[in-house]
Amino acid sequence: MTEKSSASGGTGLPASIEAAWGLRERPVKGPKPGLTLDRIVAAAVQVAAAEGLPAVSMGRVAKELGASTMSLYRYVSAKEELYVLMQEAVMGLPEPLPALEAGAGWREALAEWAWAQRRMFQRHLWSLRIPIAGPPASPNMVVWWEQGLQALSGSGLSPGAKISVILLVSGFVRNEATLMSDIAAAVQEKGVPPDEFMARWERTVRRLVDPARHPELADLLETGVLSEPDEPDYEFVFGLERILDGVEALIKKDAPS
């Protein structure tokens, strides 16, 4: 029996979510011996890792598997569904949080959660290009959210505030990973070391900045701070600590007097 091609297989859920949770029947035998959903997803991930997410199409994945494009549609209803399954595959289950297991405070646990997300994205930068179609609803994404909420379990925040903090932290992680990925891609395209890339950018800005129109930027350039090497992961550490400072201030503000 083949899966239904409608948006839902009877559960009322989107097709991609049904597929991720294994709620739809798959063909007992595919049109090509050995063709399985796991093989299709693995091939799609391989294409994305080698050539980027835009290279992933049903036809391209079918070619990778030596199968017909139509045969894939017996397992995956659309490319959007394939994206969800690819993300599930590379996201995996979250790492255990030592701070959470040791009963440490929410700040340490939430910081570990953020770092774990960042490591996951850095291993699979192409996954940052998958369009966000809604709140987390696939199995592994739900577990990641559960772990983040557990990190905040002793914070004293209201349920609504916990959700907002999770959104804030995960959004920061995703944005920083995307930005660093874009910069790394630009450096690679230029074919120069990162230090030289930044030096060229600074020289360009110096030529264009007018102290009368851009006094703050001109003063900043004169300090030479842009030429100073940063500590590893400096921007991520700085941003995450400021967010956690803000959450801490919110907890103190809402704490009973």
Per-residue pLDDT tens for 84-127? 999 999 999 999 999 988 989 999 999 999 999 999 999 999 99
- Which one, of 7, 17, 79, lies nearest residue 44 by Cα? 79
Helix (H, G, I), strand (E, B) or coil at 124: coil
CA angle 78, 50, 173 (to 5 degrees): 80
Span 61-77, pLDDT tens digits: 999 999 999 999 989 98
Answer for the pair 201, 217: CB distance below 8 angstroms, yes or no.
no
As assigned by CATH, the class of the 98-191+224-254 domain is: mainly alpha
Tens of pLDDT along 188-199?
888 888 888 888
Q: How is residue 153 written in tokens?
A: 């379990």
Q: How sure is the predictor about 257, in pLDDT bands with cuts at 50, 70 and 90?
A: low
Q: Give residue limits of the domains in the chain.
A: 15-91, 98-191+224-254
The residue with tokens 């049903």 is 58
Same topology between domain 15-91 and domain 98-191+224-254: no
CATH top-level class for 15-91? Answer: mainly alpha
Under a CB-based contact definition with an 8 Å cutoff, are residues 77 and 15 in contact? yes
Choose among 94, 128, 125: nearest CA to 112. 94
Question: pTM score, two decimals?
Answer: 0.86
Which pLDDT belongs to residue 2?
Answer: 37
